[in-house]
Every structure is written in C-alpha cells, then in structure tokens.
C-alpha cells in the first residue's frame, strides 16, 4: 500500500496507511441491527468488539465463557464476535464474523474511494490555482504592455503632428503667393504636398484619438447635445465631396438631444457619414437619421437595455459588407479591402474609434449589411430625459 498520497504535505498522515477500525467504518446503528437479528434468529447472546476489546454492539449478555471468533481483514485481526449458545455452535460465530468482514470490505472500499477522489479534487484545485495565478500574471504583463503601447502612440502621434502642421501651414502660404507667384506646375506640386499632408494628419489624429480612447475608457464630458445642429454641420462638411459623385445626403433628424460628450458624438457621426459617402454608389442617396429607440436593443449583439436612447442611423447604397467580415468591422486597422491596390482609402481606425466612443457613453454600435446593396450603421447614445416627456421640446 502507498505510504503517501501524491502531493500530500511532508509529515502528514496518509489516510491509506491508517489502521482499519470497525467503529469508524461501520455505524453503531448498523452493528446494533446486525447483532439483534442474529440474536433473535439463533436465540443467543451476541457481542461485537473492536481490536482493543471494547464492546461496540451487544444483544443479550454473553458471559466470559462465550465462544469468541476473531474478525479478520487484510490479514489483521480487527475485532471479535462473542456468541453464547447452548449447546455451543462455532459456525454461528464464524457466520457473524464473515458478514461483518463483508460489510467491512465494502465500507473500507467506499472510504478509500472517497480518499482518492478527495485527493484528485485537491490536486485539480491546486493545478487550477497555479494556472489562475499564471494567467493573472500574464494579464498584468499584457496590461502593462498595453499601457506602454498607448503612451508610445500618444507621444509619437503628438510629436509627428507638430512638424506636420508646419508643412501644411507653409504649403498653404505658398499657394496664397506669400513667397511669390507660383507656376502652374509648382502649384500642382504644392497642392499634392498639401493633400498628402492632410491625409497623413488625419491618420496621425486617428491614432492619437484611439490611444486616448483606450487610455481614458469610460471618461466622457456629459452635456446635452442638439443632434439636429450637429448632424447638419457634419453633412455640410461632406456635401462638396458627395456632390462630385452625385451622391445626395438626406437628413431625417428628430428634434432630440443626446446626453454625452459633443466632440466624441460628432466624431462618431463624422466617421459613419464619411464611410457612407466613401462607399456609396454614384448617384445614390446616403440617409442620416436620428430617432428615439432603446439604448441597447435586441439584436445589437449584447444584452438588451430597453432604456430610451438616441439612435444615429446612417444608410448607404454601396458595396456592402460580407457576413464573414461583419464580425471584424469594428477592429482597429481592419479594412474590407486590405489589398495594396484597393480603390477606397482610409486607415481602418474610424469604426474602431466610433465603437470606443459609443461604448464609453453606455450605448452600442452595430451594422446590417448586404453585399452589393449597401450598409446600415446604427449608434445609440443616452437621451436627455426631459426631451422624452409629453409636451416638452428640447
């Protein structure tokens, strides 16, 4: 028999090495019932004792002259049966001893199974505890690395944007003729420099905004935001770009106010309208709608929250998004067309930033799209409660 359970502490008593004891394995009620049955069946006195001679159960009053039969288990005498019967019948004592040995075997087997099962559970718990500690340490390292990454992006974005504003500023001064007249060829060159600098500035700004969103998760400046005025200003910014491709931007905006950070909400609307105009087919409509709806409705991919909120819905009739790409559309730097020769530009940060801002407000953003038919993006924000009361206007 093993001298110690695997993994047991040094110096501890192994339960498998403990001596077999009748009093520990067989309940008193079971022994009392057994001796009572035998005494009644044979008309005799019966007593069961342990290895030390202590009486565990008795029926009748066997005298010192009673026939004693040892109870053996695993080669050891673990107790005895005393039978007083006239005339003496040793077979009765052996019968009782065999019955007790059988009961003892089953009880001891159950106990050993319990000990082994308990040891297995303890080993599993210890293993899980060690793995949890290892995972916690890994998570701490990842969080530290993420903080370093966010700080690096914020620092580098700031340092890159500072000289870039000078490039843009001097390019604009050249175009305005402050350094003298430019030839048509020179003007084309400066326009190219200015356009590419603007694209680079947008990329750097997006990276900086993403690092800020990650580092300040859940922190927003809350105030009522008039959605009609905000949407109108965003749409006006994209009107010239849309007009070049005969894309009409239609507004369906209710007179409601969102409760949140105006800059962040405007950035969300800006990114959604920008994508819609970019991917819309020539000569189609982009619809920007604002209406009342549940803050987190059924079907938005998370637990519903039926509190009233503001829905910003942007619909286009463009290339659409395939089902396998929808699950990744809000991941940073994800592009529906990631090839180097893609027709559509962009950094892949706009939707990721929009998702971060929307969730910081307690809302959700989701998309419904069909390839070749277009996409509908919806972002929800908390509403100003006073605007929802009957008879009240924002």
Q: Dump pLDDT digits (tens) for 308-357.
A: 899 999 999 988 888 888 878 887 665 555 443 345 455 567 888 889 89
Note whether 126 and 168 are same-domain residues.
no
Q: Which of residues 134, 156, 187 is at a domain's end?
A: 134
Note the pLDDT tens digit of each residue in 261-277.
998 999 899 999 999 99
Compute the distance between CA of residue 154 and CA of residue 282 in angstroms, rounded to an integer: 37
Note whether 189 and 207 are same-domain residues.
yes
CB-count burial class (<10 Å; 0-12, 13-18, 19+) for 394: middle
Contact 155, 215 (CB under 8 A): no
Contact 238, 249 (CB under 8 A): yes
Note the pLDDT tens digit of each residue in 48-76.
888 888 888 888 766 666 788 888 888 88
Confidence class for position 1, pLDDT limits 50, 70, 90:
very low
- Is 122 a member of any domain? yes
Please name which of 358, 150, 365, 138 lies closest in space to residue 258, comparing C-alpha atoms.
Answer: 358
User: Which distant-in-sequence residues (6+ apart) come within 8 Å of 12 by Cβ?
Assistant: 4
DSSP strands (E only) in the chain: 45-50, 55-59, 67-73, 76-84, 223-226, 248-253, 257-260, 285-296, 305-316, 365-370, 374-382
User: Which distant-in-sequence residues (6+ apart) come within 8 Å of 28 by Cβ?
Assistant: 56, 57
- Is 9 a member of any domain? no
Compute the distance between CA of residue 174 and CA of residue 70 in angstroms, rounded to an integer: 115
Note whether 236 and 349 are same-domain residues.
yes
The rounded mean pLDDT for the chain is 82
- Is 348 a member of any domain? yes
In a 3-state reduction of DSSP, which class is residue 260?
A: strand
- Is 1 a member of any domain? no
Note whether 48 and 155 are same-domain residues.
no
Compute the distance between CA of residue 66 and CA of residue 333 in angstroms, rounded to an integer: 93
Going by their DSSP bridges, the two strands 76-84 and 67-73 should be labelled as antiparallel
Note whether 377 and 229 are same-domain residues.
yes
User: Which distant-in-sequence residues (6+ apart) come within 8 Å of 39 by Cβ?
Assistant: 45, 46, 59, 60
CB-count burial class (<10 Å; 0-12, 13-18, 19+) for 148: exposed
Where residue 23 sits, what CATH number does that domain have? 3.30.450
Note whether 115 and 261 are same-domain residues.
no
The whole-number pLDDT of residue 378 equals: 94
Note whether 194 and 320 are same-domain residues.
no
- Is 7 a member of any domain? no
Q: Which residue range(s) make up the domain with 68? A: 15-134
Note whether 24 and 127 are same-domain residues.
yes
- Is 29 a member of any domain? yes
Q: Which of residues 193, 215, 237 is at a domain's end?
A: 215
Note whether 282 and 383 are same-domain residues.
yes
Q: Which of residues 108, 134, 160 is at a domain's end?
A: 134
Note whether 230 and 311 are same-domain residues.
yes
- Is 394 a member of any domain? no
Residue with tokens 């998760």, as numbered in its chain: 217
Provide the number of structural domains found in the chain: 3
Note whether 282 and 313 are same-domain residues.
yes
Please indicate whether residue 384 or residue 331 has the higher confidence score (pLDDT). Answer: 384
Note whether 201 and 314 are same-domain residues.
no
């Amino acid at each position: 028999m093993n001298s110690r359970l695997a993994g047991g502490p040094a110096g501890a008593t192994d339960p498998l090495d403990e001596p077999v004891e009748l009093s520990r394995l067989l309940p008193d009620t079971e022994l009392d019932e057994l001796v009572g049955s035998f005494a009644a069946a044979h008309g005799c006195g019966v007593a069961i004792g342990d290895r030390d001679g202590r009486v565990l159960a008795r029926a009748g009053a066997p005298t010192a002259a009673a026939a004693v039969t040892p109870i053996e288990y695993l080669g050891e005498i673990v107790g005895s049966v005393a039978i007083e019967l006239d005339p003496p019948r040793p077979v009765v004592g052996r019968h009782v001893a065999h019955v007790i040995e059988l009961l003892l075997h089953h009880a001891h087997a159950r106990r050993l199974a319990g000990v082994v099962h308990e040891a297995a559970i303890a080993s599993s718990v210890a293993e899980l505890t060690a793995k949890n500690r290892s995972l916690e340490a890994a998570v701490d390292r990842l969080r530290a690395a993420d903080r370093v990454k966010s700080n690096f992006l914020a620092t580098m974005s700031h340092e890159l944007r500072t000289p870039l504003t000078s490039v843009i500023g001097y390019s604009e001064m050249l175009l305005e003729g402050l350094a003298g007249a430019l030839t048509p060829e020179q003007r084309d060159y400066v326009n190219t420099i200015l356009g590419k600098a603007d694209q680079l500035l947008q990329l750097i700004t997006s990276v900086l905004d993403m690092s800020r969103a990650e580092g300040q998760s859940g922190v927003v400046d809350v105030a009522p935001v008039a959605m009609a005025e905000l949407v109108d200003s965003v749409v006006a910014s994209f009107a010239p770009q849309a007009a070049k491709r005969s894309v009409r931007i239609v507004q369906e905006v209710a007179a409601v106010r969102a409760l949140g950070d105006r800059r962040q909400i405007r950035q969300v609307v800006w990114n959604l309208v920008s994508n819609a105009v970019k991917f819309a087919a020539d000569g189609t409509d982009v619809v920007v709608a604002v209406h009342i709806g549940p803050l987190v409705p059924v079907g938005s991919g998370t637990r519903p929250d039926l509190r009233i909120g503001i829905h910003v819905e942007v619909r286009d009739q463009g290339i659409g998004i395939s089902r396998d790409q929808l699950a990744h559309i809000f991941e940073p730097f994800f592009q529906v067309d990631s090839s180097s020769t893609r027709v559509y530009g962009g950094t892949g940060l706009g939707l990721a930033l929009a998702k971060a801002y929307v969730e910081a407000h307690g809302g959700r953003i989701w998309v419904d799209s069909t390839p070749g038919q277009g996409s509908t993006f919806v972002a929800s924000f908390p509403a100003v409660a006073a605007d929802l009361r009957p008879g009240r206007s924002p």
